[in-house]
A = this chain, B = another copy of it.
Amino acid sequence: MTVPDDSFIEQIQASKQSDSADSKLATYETPLVTVDIVIFTVLDNKLKVLLIQRKSPPFAHMWAIPGGFIHTGETLEEAAERRLFEETNVKGIYLEQLYSFGKPNRDPRARVITVAYYAMISSDRLKLEARANAENVGWFDIKELTELAFDHLDIVHRAVARLKERLKDSNFAFQLLPEKFTLTELQRIYELILEQKLDKRNFRKKILSLGILYETDETKMEGYHRPAQLYSFTERQKVLMYEL
């Protein structure tokens, strides 16, 4: 949550005080609405999420997923895209609504309902478009998350579960890879997300039979062994993904 947002919530709280005499507001609430985004990448052969360290209470100094209030005229998705861009400087990537979280006391200051989204970014785009912002931002291994601010741990867990499901029936891992990649790199993504080893021959047989990859004329040398063929996803596959 950014600084302007934090001051916004205080202001809203102040304006609520004056309404509190009204009996209607005892029954109905006017909750605040945020969007929060779980941003995944693969770094050091681990599935990681982007977290921001909070500066002020509640949950000061704890880590949280990026999020914020919706601007006037924005759709939910546009708000999520904007926040994604603000944190990563990356635009035009696949973003999917995850779930809405609305437990009454998830934010101790006020009733805040959040619509959570998730996205994936390949690590090569991260390096190129590093963030100038002074905030404490970092990538954290999803296996090592213990405590997060608010109910953000629940949100991350649900995002990981969704990622697994999605990968099973509509293989869309390409957001996590550079434009060109080896089949072994692709397999590693699958293994990381599904948390299981896959058979090399069966994996290649299946992924190639889907007809969503094409072989480029380049190879990639890494270490003192046979170079690997580079593949790329077809445009058709990319379009299909956005139609999910």
Question: Could you tell me the distance between the alpha carbons of A18 and B29 in the complex, rounded to whole angstroms?
Answer: 18
Fill in one digit per residue for A213-229: 1 if any B CB lies within 8 Å of its CB, else 0: 00000000000000000
Chain B: which residue is nearest A73 at the CB level?
Answer: B104
Docked-complex contact B102 and A75, CB < 8 angstroms: yes
Which residues of chain B come closer than 8 Å to A29, judged between CB atoms? 69-72
Question: Is the beta-carbon distance between A33 and B71 smaller than 8 angstroms?
Answer: no
Is residue A49 within 8 Å, beta carbon to beta carbon, of the partner chain? Answer: no
Q: How many copies does the complex hold?
A: 2
**Is the C-beta of A99 less than 8 angstroms from some C-beta in chain B?**
yes
Q: Of B8, B24, B111, B113, which is within 8 A of A115 by CB? A: B113
Query: Which of B31, B70, B76, B99 meets A70, CB within 8 Å?
Result: B31
**When chains A and B are docked, how far (Å) is the Cα of A8 from the Cα of B97?**
29
Contact residues, A97-138 vs B (CB, 8 A): 97, 99-104, 111, 113, 115
Q: Which 10 A-B pairs have the closest CB atoms?
A: A76-B102, A100-B100, A100-B115, A28-B69, A29-B72, A31-B33, A8-B28, A73-B104, A33-B113, A75-B103
